[in-house]
Chains A and B, each alone.
Chain A
Amino acid sequence: MNRVTRANTKKILYSVLLSFLFMLMVIMPLYVSPYTIILLNSIFMYIVLTVSWALFSGPTHYLSLASAAFFGIGIYSSAILGDQLPLLLVIGLGGFISFLLALLVGLSSLRLRGMYFTIFTFGLSELIRHSVQWWEVNKTGTVGRWVIGVDHTTVYYIMLAILLITLVAAYILKHSKYGLALLSIGESEEAADHIGINVNAMKIITFAISTFFMGATGAIMATRWTYIDPSIAFNPLFSFMPVLMAIFGGIGHIFGQILGASVLTLLADVLLTKFPYYYMLLYGMILVIVVLFLPKGLTGLKEEVKKWWGGRAVK
């Protein structure tokens, strides 16, 4: 079998595998316990957050710590509009308002690079949290809000749909010329600008698109929590986790991002139930060990094993 047919066979195999997996996901609620559905919802949520974060921050190396802000906006859209508008519209609005805010954030942070950009995004996220809190306390007279509950299975299917859309979008972007352009921005912004790439526009638009998925996810997940307040909705952990998960799994590949999010969410759940008192400690230790020995994340495992194996063979 020559190289071309081998590559095509691989593609067909992957497509079949993925379709099978997808069908499995679709029929799953009929066969598993509610607990598993809830767990899967969590996993889907983190996958979307991680993949959409990595959409922009991966290739450009602009590490955003503002994911919580956009996720939180989605949550608040649900809380405020959930009882007046149909569910799907609310989800769309959650995403759209995030998108608009991200455009503003992008425009204002244009000149910032590296560490300054990261800290700016973190500060902004916190600012939004405090602003919403202030507004709620002083203007609306409430601190928390109730969200119209939606049953787990509906949440499951909606999350699955959002997940699918996010993954398809990420895949298409990565393999298009815009994906290549984003990588070049991460390598040398000045050179990219000089070969005709509108660097500013590309950064802002990609950033905004990535936040759409975060907002939409927030809107649907809020219905699961039913009670929310600014410290829940804009919890900085939602900014840090996607970064951790992407690095843990392997930031360069979509598969690595999915793997990192799934493994870490699963791990947190397992540890929490088995070792309720030590779970944070164990979780942290595993993170540190992986980052120390697998700098490329889990997807780098194959390389590391090859290296290690090859080294021994030489001796």
Chain B
Amino acid sequence: MRILEGEGVRKNFGGLAAIAEVSFHINHREILGLIGPNGAGKTTLFNLISGSLVPTSGTIKFKGENITGMKPHQICKRGMARTFQLVKLFGNMTVLENTLLGSLFGTLTGMRQSTALKESLELLEFVGLSGINGVLAKDLTIVNQKRLEVARALATKPELLLLDEFMAGLTPTEVSLAIELIKKIRNRGITVFMIEHVMKAMMSVSDRIIALHYGEKIAEGIPEEIATNPKVIEIYLGV
């Protein structure tokens, strides 16, 4: 079953097509990777899916429902969450408060304060952040900030999670831990769509990969196919 579908999605900025007629789909519980040279339109595609931007034309369907043009908070309540390339935490609020907000507002039916609290604490442990509930988000290390952003996103009980360059800036050891976390997230039944430049992560954890170039999809397939695709090697991987 397809949890997310995009058909002929186009986004123009003035005369420039940032995304040009891209069609894609993700299956339930899949991990789909998105790669492409810098400036290819990867984050723009995420913005179109999550509601930050409205497509110039084309449709996006989430769980069968047409979500094209919906606002981010509406899409979130329907079960989609995301992280950002440049971490967007609520810096002057504590670790717990950041996560709590996700629980309190992210679900369609709302949640009681006590349940939200319990769930937030559980999620913080899940991502590997225990014992720092009272620390201000802006005082965290970059690794912990990324973990917190994931905890906050998971607090909204998503069925689809968009990760934008989650691994950027992590040491190889930290990358391995992050890969484990993504696998744990998938095991919870959450579908993952991830933009990544860290090839080790991308190849080992994705079921399928899509490659973008100048706003167009130039390749799609399983990791082995993508890694050996001559066009992808030419414009993205290098030899």
Binding site for B on A (CB under 8 A): 177, 180-181, 183-184, 187-188, 190-200
Contacts and interface: CB of A to CB of B under 8 A. Distances in A.
A185 to B, nearest CB: 9
Given A196-B76, A196-B107, A197-B101, A183 B152 contact: no
Interface of B: 50-52, 71-73, 76-77, 81-82, 84, 88-93, 97, 100-102, 104-107, 113, 152-153, 155-156
Given A194-B81, A195-B156, A199-B73, A188 B101 contact: no
A180 B97 contact: yes
Contacts of A181: 101, 104-105
A184 B107 CA distance: 17
A183 B100 CA distance: 13
Given A194-B153, A195-B101, 15 more contacts: A181-B101, A183-B93, A187-B89, A187-B91, A187-B92, A188-B91, A193-B51, A193-B52, A193-B72, A195-B102, A195-B153, A195-B155, A197-B73, A198-B71, A198-B73
A200 B88 CA distance: 18
B72 A188 contact: no
A180 B117 CA distance: 14
Nearest to B153: A195
5 A-B pairs closest in CB distance: A187-B90, A196-B106, A196-B105, A191-B88, A193-B72
A180 B73 contact: no
10 contacts: A177-B101, A181-B104, A188-B89, A190-B84, A192-B101, A194-B52, A194-B72, A194-B73, A195-B155, A198-B73
Contacts of B77: 196
Contacts of B91: 187-188
A223 B90 CA distance: 45
Contacts of B89: 187-188, 191
Contacts of A180: 93, 97, 100-101, 104
A177 B113 contact: yes
B90 A193 contact: no
A264 B11 CA distance: 53
A195 B106 contact: yes
B105 A197 contact: yes
Given A177-B104, A195-B153, A196-B73, A188 B97 contact: no
A193 B106 contact: no
Nearest to B116: A177
A6 B187 CA distance: 44
Nearest to A193: B72
A270 B93 CA distance: 40
A196 B76 CA distance: 5
Given A180-B101, A196-B156, A187 B107 contact: no
Contacts of A192: 90, 101
A160 B202 CA distance: 64
A180 B71 CA distance: 21
A133 B99 CA distance: 51
A174 B154 CA distance: 25
Nearest to A197: B105
